[in-house]
Amino acid sequence: MTVDTVKLLARYNLYANAEMNKVLVKLAPADWTRDLGGYYSSFRSLLGHLYTADITWLIRFASFRAFPSLKGGPFDFPPAPGEMAFDTLAEYLEKRSALDAVLVSFADELTDADLAGNLAYRNFRNEELNKNFGGLVVHLFNHQTHHRGMAALYLDQLDVPNDFNSLSAVV
């Protein structure tokens, strides 16, 4: 794992979310909260989970060392577990865009030594864990890709054309 790999993943994440969001804005307002049958039943709950998980990981990462990009904004008042981070699609789009910019800045601050280190943290079950920092950073981006795939499935169910997960677009 190298810093260049993480920077690529951050740029890809920014691109893929922006492309997905171009599709989401075309949805009917009722589709934002429509129950589509998944574990996260609607776009709102799915994307709320993803946003909150990203904030949680970045707060954990901030305990590893001081990262200037991980100060202020969404980190001052993070959503509590289970709390919805936004109500409307417009609010999501604004917050997601800002958070994706933070992820790119965070990736730019990383060093290879950071990625080789270990992060001690507690999970939601209050278990103490100590894992490779670089692997956890990749986990954050992989988690996003996984849930964009769920969003693509929801869009397919609504017969909305979508294709926003091509890593080759940023290589």
CATH number at residue 40: 1.20.120.450
> Which structural domain range is residue 109 located in?
3-169
The torsion of the CA quartet 119, 123, 127, 132, rounded to 10 degrees, works out to -20
Residue 18 confidence (pLDDT) above 90 = yes
Task: Identify which has the larger pLDDT, 80 or 35.
Answer: 35
Number of domains in the chain: 1
Bridge partners, 33 (sequence order): none
Q: Tell me what pLDDT residue 76 has.
A: 75
Confidence (pLDDT) at 74: 75
pLDDT value, residue 35: 98
Task: Give the pLDDT band (50/70/90) at residue 78.
Answer: confident
Per-residue pLDDT tens digits for 152-162 = 999 999 999 99
pLDDT at 80 over 80: no
